[in-house]
Amino acid sequence: MTKFRFFLPVIILALIAASWTPSVQGQTLQDSVAAMARAFKGDVGIYAINLQNGDTVSYNAEKMFPTASVIKIYVLAKLYQEIKEGRLSMNDQVVLRDSDKVPGSGILLFMHNGMKLTLGDLSWLMINMSDNVAANLLTDEVGGVMKVTDFIRSLGFKHTMELAKIFDRNVYPDSTLRREYGIGVTTPRETATFMKELYEGRIVSKKSSEAMIKLMEYQFYNTSIPRFLPTYRDTIEIAHKTGALNATRNDCAIIYTPRTNYVLCVFTTHNKDQRWITDNGAEVFIAKVSLLIYKSFVKKEF
């Protein structure tokens, strides 16, 4: 009888602990993400959502961050709205001029004056090569910076804006925002929500959403979110858009796996490591966060 009395509380406690396992695991993931973010030498914002069960992880999710080239997914969405409403077509052509050329990522900077490109060509270059010239040309085609921001507002996002074309002096009316955030501003939650709605087929139309996702699946820059994920492109597909400035590194993605799909957006700014190398501290940090989220959202389900 003594033995039974001794072990009964232990058994009860074990059963209680087992019943609380999901909450403990969820809290552990949140704590781990927060600890990683606090240790990073810069400002961090993170938002992830499991598209199967709705689980979320966040850190500074409402904080405003420079988008860098992540803003280009919103320019792309505005283009698809223009196409849906019959004002533009992916087959429409634009003539490249020397005056269109700006520095930074992409290849159009090096192409010859007078080159003809379709809006479809420009879309591919803007998303997959993050071509700055293509982004500026498409911003012009859809009506300019203000039209892109008005479109973003129509989606219900209050803090996401395109503020200027790249290396362009014509700025959004609030020049303070332009000085602080560069070409665009967003929050991790808003861009993650945009990606979730894209996944659900609710950005412009189901057909348009699918086309935009397909473009992002051919992303050229894969040193952040995809970096440490196992069997990438074998059993995992990732549709994502990166963004980078000297002190900023961002990546936002829809990750498709055999077990579940999820969205992850990581923004970093005021980074101490500003080197333009593969092992930039922010890019490695984003990759480590990505692997941690993967292990929680996906691996534990096997």
Q: Domain residue spans in the chain?
A: 36-63+218-302, 64-186
* Region 161-175 average pLDDT: 77
Q: What is the mean pLDDT of the chain?
A: 90
Q: Across the strands, what pairs with 38?
A: none
Give the pLDDT band (50/70/90) at residue 301.
very low
Residue type, 189: R
Same-fold call for 36-63+218-302 versus 64-186: yes
CA gap 281, 225 in Å, rounded = 13
Report the candidate in 282, 206, 226, 240 with the shortest Cα–Cα distance to residue 43: 282
Q: Across the strands, what pairs with 254?
A: 239, 263
Angle between helices 2-19 and 21-39 (to 10 degrees): 60
Pairing of strands 65-66, 161-162: unpaired
How many residues would you count in the chain? Answer: 302
DSSP state at residue 97: -
CATH code for the domain defined by 36-63+218-302: 3.40.710.10
Q: Is residue 4 over pLDDT 80?
A: no
User: In percent, how much of the chain has pLDDT > 70?
Assistant: 87
Structure tokens at 72: 């280009």
Specify whether the CB–CB gap between 210 and 275 falls below 8 A: no
Give the least confident one: 41-45, 78-82, 127-131, 295-299. Answer: 295-299
- The predicted pLDDT at position 14 comes to 39
Distances (CA, A) of 207 to 200, 204, 258: 11, 8, 23
pLDDT tens digits, residue range 274-287?
Answer: 999 999 999 999 99
- The predicted pLDDT at position 268 comes to 98
Q: Is 172 helix (H, G, I), strand (E, B) or coil?
A: coil
- The predicted pLDDT at position 26 comes to 43
**64-186: CATH topology:** Beta-lactamase (3.40.710)
* Region 93-104 average pLDDT: 96
Helix, strand, coil shares of the chain, percent, nearest 5, are 45, 20, 35
Which residues contact residue 182 at a Cβ distance below 8 angstroms, ignoring those fewer than 6 apart? 66, 67, 68, 163, 164, 245, 248
Specify whether the CB–CB gap between 60 and 37 falls below 8 A: yes
DSSP string across 108-125: GGGSPTT-EEEHHHHHHH
- For 36, counting Cβ atoms within 10 Å of its Cβ (0-12 exposed, 13-18 middle, 19+ buried), the class is middle
